[in-house]
Amino acid sequence: LKSRKENFNRIMPDLEIDMHSNPFGDQDDPDNNFDQISLTSEDQLQLTSQNVEFLEKRDKEIREVLRSIEDVNEIFRDVAALVSNQGTVLDQIEYNIENTVVQIEQGNKHLSKAVEQKQRGLKFKLILIGVIVSVLLFIILVGVISR
């Protein structure tokens, strides 16, 4: 942009055209005005060419910025997908932990029942042994008395 302004300021003094004069020059010196108009046209072509180059460069830079924005957008989408996936994984972990807690509580209940049943079984065995011993003693006592 700075070079464009410098070129414009350099060319501007050459663009002095008198609006009241004959565009084809004076009758006395016709070549002088045609040369000035030709130089002005060449300078305008050069300025136009520089403007086109500037606009092409600017367009290229805008396209690069656009590509960079698209890349950043893609990165944000990837990050959003990762965050979503991590959220799903965390939900699964939380669900598994809750299930584990429930299963541990059920396991503790089963263990308590097993301990109670074992104690009842031990009592039952002791009572059964006592009954068997009593019956055997009774049979032995009846056998000793009947002789």
Q: What is the pTM of this model?
A: 0.43
Q: Quick one: pLDDT at residue 84?
A: 92
Q: At 9, is the pLDDT very low, low, confident or very high (cuts 50, 70, 90)? A: low
- Angle, helices 2-11 vs 30-145, to 10°: value is 170
Predicted local confidence at residue 45, as pLDDT:
80
Helices (H) and strands (E) in the chain, counts: 2, 0
DSSP string, 61-83: HHHHHHHHHHHHHHHHHHHHHHH
Domain positions in the chain: 2-145
The proportion of the chain whose per-residue pLDDT surpasses 90, expressed as a percent, equals: 51
Categorize the per-residue pLDDT at 48 as very low, low, confident or very high, splitting at 50, 70 and 90: confident
For the stretch 62-109, pLDDT in tens is 999 999 999 999 999 999 999 999 999 999 999 999 999 999 999 999
DSSP 112-135: HHHHHHHHHHHHHHHHHHHHHHHH
Residue type, 38: S
Place of tokens 């002095």: 16
Mean pLDDT, rounded, of the chain: 81
